[in-house]
Structure 1
Amino acid sequence: MTISSTMPGSGTSREDISLRLLKGSAKKSYEPVVDIDWDAPLAEDKYFVPPQMSSLYGTPLWEQMSQQQRFELSRQEFVNYLSMGIWFENMLNQSLLRGMIHSSPTAHTTFYELTELGDEARHMLMFGRAIERVGVEPFWPTGNAARRVNAMAFVFRGPMLWIAALVGEEIFDALQRRILEDGDDVQPLVQRVMRIHVTEEARHIQFARDGIRRDVGSLSPRMRWLLANLHGLGARLYLQNFTRRGLYQRVGLDGAEAQRQARANPHFHAVQRTGFASLGDFLDDVGLMGPMARRMWKRSHFL
């Protein structure tokens, strides 16, 4: 990516896009510490994730669960989503900071990346406060998992960073929009957190998509092949974390059986496809949906 690069056929430079996003950030950004009423009571009869989005919805296990267990599963799944969000935004911030040492400190692109860093830092704080408020332990990486999370920040560079950003942001963004659409059954706190995140992530997604569109035409055949196929590794990562055994064990279920039913659940497969649809269309459009990646996303039920 160069500061003077332009989008093919548009005449709009990366600097122009960055300046427009900077203006949008100045007009509409949030400070979760004061923009969310953290002391408001939680509703006893509302879910934290719409029931139809639960990984076990419609399974035999779901039918056997008490209403209280269903509420508790939604609480755990909500915290799992937020925990994964914190991991990813931590990795993204590390990658952005490392890349800035090679960028002009006076470029609008750098200014916007710094703005995004600030957004993501506030999102991590917001997610952490939300986890604390609902009273559930976060799902945190340890041992080899923690080392893999840290290592990813060193791998994400240039076009790889924008692909990783979209894999990490767009799937969550689509799921959050679904939560807002089905908000009648959902905790007001959850709706507020999702609304803030969706609003600010829309700019991040636009910035990442613009970066990919500009870079894709100049990629070597080898790098293009790698980018078009390596993102498929995200499919297994998502499936493993969305259906982790510990999630179900916290609700008093048999973790192995709950995981088996969740991964075979057609209702949950539909939720996964909804989350991936927009990203999948974009990757197809820019020619970065390779055959290996397509198989991996299909095998994990995102396609």
Structure 2
Amino acid sequence: MTRSTLELRNPRITDRQDTGTRLLESSARMSYDPMVEVDWDAPVPDDLYGLTPEWSTLYGTPLWNEMTFEQQITLTKHEVSSIMGTGIWFEMILQQMVIRDMYAKDASQAHFQFALTEVADECRHSVMFARTAEKFGCPSYVPRRAVVNLGRGFKALASGEVAYAGILVAEEILDVMQRDWMKDTRVQPIVRVTSKIHVVEEARHMRFAREETLRRAAGTSKARRAASRGAIAIAANLIVSSMINPAVYAAAGLDTERALREAKNNSFRAAKVRESSQPLMRFLADADLLGGPSKRLYKRVHML
């Protein structure tokens, strides 16, 4: 297959159909059905965290040290359920953006077929996250109403590099977290296995999103790049700031105002978020999609 002029100019941009074929082959070799792979009938241990404790918003604060072990367990179960709820919210946005991008395209192409495979994966992931929270007895956490409404606008209007970089933001950060959770024997078995499923399948999605981001951003004007940087940063800010619903603190029997204050000023948590964001920030910088005022938005949620 002859490579396009775009691909020859930028060696990071591979042939779209070759990538689609490889990702489809990978999907055929290594995909999971959570309804089969996860033991949904297994009891929930009382002495294991919902997520790696170091990823709790309160870990390292005076309040964390004052909490009983049972409160720490309860808090982390609700925190992981909140993160999964935010994941469901954004996966539904992702699905709509990908389907809109593929609308009336050539269905015989591997690129098109992998895009729909990704949508099918995301549907399974959302059900998997929902059942995990249900298993813990946690509510269905969703972002606050203002964020939900902004998400409606984003999924309806975002296109090109903004849509695919926005997808990458949510996937990259959760990927780093879940790589820790799936290996941590202190974490609930159901979270470890669902994290493994998500990490394996999202690796394909992230490659797809990276390449599409580069492809769509290539050759764009300075004005469009500036606008794209701002839109991607706004999306990232909303996603990261919405991961933990304030109601998780009351669920653990904590003073919500104090918990929010200590979580906001938690330097340990801020360092963890910066660490998890480094691969994404490097990619956006390399793609010339990081700079100017957008940096302030990333710093506000400790991604830089």
TM-score, normalised via structure 2 length: 0.93
Q: CA 1:9–1:51 in structure 2 vs 1: closer, same or farther (change >3 Å)? A: closer
**Secondary structure at 1:49 match in 2:** coil
Q: How much does 1:141 deviate?
A: 4.4
Q: How much does 1:10 deviate?
A: 6.6
**Secondary structure at 1:177 match in 2:** helix
Q: Deviations 1:144-182 (Å, cap 9, x if unpaired)? A: 44333322211221211111111111111111112234x
Q: How does 1:15-94 map to 2 (within 5 A)?
A: 15-94=17-96
Q: CA 1:265–1:67 in structure 2 vs 1: closer, same or farther (change >3 Å)? A: same
Larger mean Cα displacement after TM superposition, 167-176 or 234-243: 234-243
Structure 1: how far apart are the matches of 2:236 and 2:162?
A: 16
Q: How does 1:134-173 map to 2 (within 5 A)?
A: 134-141=136-143, 143-173=145-175
Residues paired across the two proteins, number: 300
Q: Deviations 1:244-277 (Å, cap 9, x if unpaired)? A: 3222122121212211110110111122112211
Q: Deviations 1:12-41 (Å, cap 9, x if unpaired)? A: 411101110010001100111111111111
Q: How much does 1:239 deviate?
A: 4.6
Residue 114 of structure 1: which of 116, 140, 147 is its match? 116
Larger mean Cα displacement after TM superposition, 170-179 or 242-251: 242-251
Structure 1: how far apart are the matches of 2:28 and 2:237?
A: 37
Is the 1:244–1:259 Cα contact (8 Å) retained in structure 2?
no
2:270 aligns with: 269
1:285 aligns with: 286
1:205 aligns with: 206
Structure 2: how far apart are the matches of 1:167 and 1:10?
A: 19
**Secondary structure at 2:302 match in 1:** coil
Percent sequence identity over matched residues?
35
1:256 aligns with: 257
**Secondary structure at 2:241 match in 1:** helix
Structure 1: how far apart are the matches of 2:265 and 2:239?
A: 15
Unaligned runs of 5+ in 1: none
Q: How much does 1:228 deviate?
A: 2.1
2:222 aligns with: 221
Larger mean Cα displacement after TM superposition, 66-75 or 209-218: 209-218
Q: How does 1:125-140 map to 2 (within 5 A)?
A: 125-140=127-142
Q: Deviations 1:42-87 (Å, cap 9, x if unpaired)? A: 1221101111111001111111111111000000101011001100
Structure 2: how far apart are the matches of 1:52 and 1:35?
A: 27
Q: CA 1:151–1:234 in structure 2 vs 1: closer, same or farther (change >3 Å)? A: closer
TM-score, normalised via structure 1 length: 0.93
Is the 1:232–1:292 Cα contact (8 Å) retained in structure 2?
no
Cα RMSD of the aligned pairs, angstroms, is 1.9
Is the 1:163–1:227 Cα contact (8 Å) retained in structure 2?
no
Structure 1: how far apart are the matches of 2:241 and 2:233?
A: 14
Structure 1: how far apart are the matches of 2:296 and 2:150?
A: 23
Letter paired with 1:246: A
**Secondary structure at 1:185 match in 2:** coil
Q: How much does 1:139 deviate?
A: 0.7
Q: How much does 1:134 deviate?
A: 1.2
Unaligned runs of 5+ in 2: none
Q: How much does 1:11 deviate?
A: 8.3
Letter paired with 2:202: E
Structure 2: how far apart are the matches of 1:291 and 1:88?
A: 26
